Structure 1
Amino acid sequence: MGGSVSCCMSPRETPKVRRREVEECPITTTTTTTEEEEVEVSEDTGTYLQHISDREMPDELAHESNPSDHPRASTLFLNKSQTDVREKRKSHILNHMSPRLLTTKWSSCSTIFLDDSTVSQPNLKTTVKCVTLAVFYHIKNRDSSRTLDIFDEKKHPLTREKVPEDYGTTDPEHKLIYRFVRTLFSSAQLTAECAIVTLVYLERLLTYAEMDICPGNWKRIVLGAILLASKVWDDQAVWNVDYCQILKDITVEDMNEMERHFLELLQFNINVPASVYAKYYFDLRSLADQNKLSFPLEPLSKKRAQKLEAISRLCEDRYKDLSGSNIRRSLSADNLLGLPNTHAILS
């Protein structure tokens, strides 16, 4: 038996069991433990299994390249709108006036103005306007015109009318984009939250597929994002055949094929964390503020003030319940969005 420990272990046993039995064995040996065996064995808990979230945690470069996946990265549409915002501000300074000062409602000691848009229940009309404005800036300030055939409207037209020759080179106006999206949302009775998720999927497609949204493909890209967002977000999703009733000349087969390509290009990543959703909501509000798209304001009434106080108490109670755990986690968007529907309380 000499320097062998075969009497104290079985070759089929795990390294952890083997090590414990070797320590309990009264026979003194000079067995050397290999480096590979030391890595596999944990002193206290045995074999260490790394959590999947730790293994897949992206670096800072991934955060910047995929803003639709991470709450800390700046959204693409807000970055693309900055050039136009700076030009507008310079023009206002040169003209020595700001037109917004003439129309903005300001709170005073006697009257407080609030809008009815919340992160859990955004205002539908203004949210759709902001989302289409984000699409407008994507098209206007694009770096190139990379596209795929499945989204090319000349190869897959949405109407029977002939596509103009300059369709792929002339940037659409914001009104045209808004009219197209508003028709879909109105006919399919989609919600404002669906519009925000649509923008998330759109930017995720652009980064994952390394393509651009341009005059020749914006309608089909937006349609594909709306189609997917409505199925993921709404409990009673709109079927593809229902969209064919809205867009009379498109076929169900074409819709199905576009949906399959969209999902494959997204790598089937349709999850939208609450923190990412909240980031897009507040960035859309910033975009609205920069472009003078104000959310509807109403004077604060006594009844509404009482309901706001009730919401504040709910938030305070939730904070107290979570105070014993990680404070940073309790204040995150994922927890705040888990509160009761504030819009339902206010209405």
Structure 2
Amino acid sequence: MAEANPSDHPRASTLFLNKSQTDVREKRKSNYMNHTSPGLLTKKYSSCSTIFIDDSTVSQPNLKSTIKCVALAIYYHIKNRDSNRSLDIFDEKKHPLSREKVPDDYSVVDPEHKLIYRFIRTLFSSAQLTAECAIVTLVYLERLLTYAEMDICPCNWKRIVLGAILLASKVWDDQAVWNVDYCQILKDITVEDMNEMERHFLELLQFNINVPASVYAKYYFDLRSLADDNNLSFPLEPLSNKRAQKLEAISRLCEDKYKDLSKSAMRRSISADNLVGIKNAQAVLS
């Protein structure tokens, strides 16, 4: 199981991207059969007068776009799930997040992408979490599903997402958001419930909260692929003079670092050649 787990190994395909491919292929087939375009092209192209750049990077992702993509990944997880395996601790009927009555069809009606996005956005906005935290949230969510051999479905998605966000915010962000802080956001949930859910989440993860840089990068780029497949574009901003000067300064800094590294490597190479020459000379004299 460990070798095939995408949340642990950088070469294993992410679950959410695999889940989305069925829908993507159907959309492309439908567009081809009906001779329709996939939609309006909203991508901006550079010109002689204006250059557009994508400010979202693997180290500093765009917050809004990343949350949208994570919500879409969860949407595909729910929509294309294999079954409805769950645990009581994540069941919203048994552990409601609000005092409002849980609908009778809560376990059979799949949530729309917009609903999932609003739920995540509210938590991230209120707790002032970062885009990197959203990516780690998705890593923990997929790790939970594989380790615990369960599915994210209509009856449990909110509590699973909440548990993953809670854990990711504590592990990733420098200023952790504590359980009592989430109780201020979700007014009707108790600290005891949050603590119990967090304990179960950690146990089901086998206390494996490490996210290698290679795994994080894979999830980031797969989320970007998901965005492209679903016409969710990351924002492009025109290159201003101030931004251009900043990029030039960064490039010069990197160039200087590479020059220093190159000089160090050359010195080590020369030293090694000299050492080999000395040893050869000693061997001849002896």
Q: TM-score range by the shorter chain?
A: 0.7 to 0.9
1:125 to 54, 64, 67: 64
| Structure 1 CA distance for aligned equivalents of residues 259 and 132 of structure 2 | 29
Q: Distance in 1 between matches of 2:137 and 2:51?
A: 33
Q: Does 1:250 align with 2:250?
A: no
Deviation string for 1:89-121 (max 9, x for gaps)? 122223434254532212234432212211111
TM-score using structure 1 length: 0.72
Q: Secondary structure at the match of 2:3?
A: helix
Q: Which amino acid aligns with 1:279?
A: K
CA 1:76–1:90 in structure 2 vs 1: closer, same or farther (change >3 Å)? same
Q: Say which structure, 1 or 2, has more relative contact order (CA 8 Å, 6+ apart).
A: 2
| Cα distance change of structure 1 residues 303 and 76 upon mapping to structure 2, 3 Å threshold | same
- Residue identity in the other structure for 2:101: K
Q: How does 1:227-242 map to 2 (within 5 A)?
A: 227-242=166-181
Give, in whole Å, the separation in 1 of the partners of 2:247 and 2:73: 31
In structure 2, how many angstroms separate the alpha carbons of the residues matched to 1:322 and 1:253? 53
Compared CA separation, residues 186 and 321, structure 1 to 2 (3 A): same
User: 1:235 offset after TM fit, Å?
Assistant: 1.2
Candidates 161, 174, 185, aligned match of 1:222 = 161
2:52 is matched with 113
Partner of 2:86: 147
Per the alignment, residue 279 of structure 2 pairs with: none
Distance 1:77 1:305 in 2: 36
Instruction: Kindly indicate whether the alpha-carbon contact (under 8 Å) linking 2:2 and 2:8 is maintained by their aligned counterparts in 1.
Output: no
Larger Rg: 1
Gaps of 5+ in 2: 266-286
CA separation in 2, counterparts of 1:127 and 1:70? 21
Report the TM-score, using the length of structure 2 for normalisation: 0.87
Pick one of 293, 297, 313 that aligns with 2:236. Answer: 297
Report the identity percentage: 88
Q: Distance in 1 between matches of 2:216 and 2:249?
A: 25
Contact 2:54 / 2:236 at 8 angstroms: preserved in 1? Answer: yes
Q: Summarize the alignment of residues 1-347 of structure 1 with structure 2, pairs less than 5 Å apart.
A: 62-64=2-4, 66-319=5-258
Q: Give the paired residue count.
A: 264
Which secondary structure does the structure 2 equivalent of 1:114 belong to? strand
Shift of 1:161: 1.7
Tell me if the contact between 1:198 and 1:229 (Cα under 8 Å) persists in the aligned partners: yes
Q: Counterpart of 2:3 in structure 1: which amino acid?
A: H
Structure 1: gaps of 5 or more residues: 1-60, 326-347
